[in-house]
């Protein structure tokens, strides 16, 4: 997927889920381990938020599931303080479902 399209899709997901506009500011490589196994190994995009009542930043990433694009967008609110903790929180939330 073309990078600009990918970032646009993440921005659309942030708008849909969190109701605010965003500006891409950085990309971070994150490798997250859970019980000795790699739970996530990929790039997390960080966005500054405009118009969110509580958060100034959001960490987001996309993936393809059953042939369609899905996005995860985690606000930088405690305990989330980095791309790495955003991934950890998202993994924990998914395992509780």
Interatomic CA distance for residues 97 and 95, integer angstroms: 6
Cβ pair 52, 31 in contact under 8 A: no
The model's pLDDT over 11-49, given as tens digits with 9 standing for 90+, comes to 999 999 999 999 999 999 999 987 889 988 999 999 999
Which residues, 6+ apart, have CB-to-CB distance to 25 below 8 Å? Answer: 46, 47, 48, 57
pTM score above 0.85: yes
Please calculate the CA angle 53-59-75 and round it to the nearest 5 degrees: 30
Look up tokens 């609110």; give the residue: 77
The domain ranges of the chain are 3-95
């Amino acid at each position: 997927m073309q990078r600009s399209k990918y970032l646009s899709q993440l921005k659309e997901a942030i708008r849909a889920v969190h109701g605010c506009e965003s500006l891409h500011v950085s990309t971070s490589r994150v490798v997250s381990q859970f019980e000795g196994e790699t739970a996530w190994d990929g790039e997390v995009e960080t966005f500054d938020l405009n118009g969110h009542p509580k958060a100034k930043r959001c960490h987001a990433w996309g993936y393809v599931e059953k042939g369609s694009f899905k996005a995860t967008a985690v606000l930088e609110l405690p305990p989330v303080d980095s791309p790495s903790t955003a991934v950890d929180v998202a993994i924990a939330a998914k395992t509780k479902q």
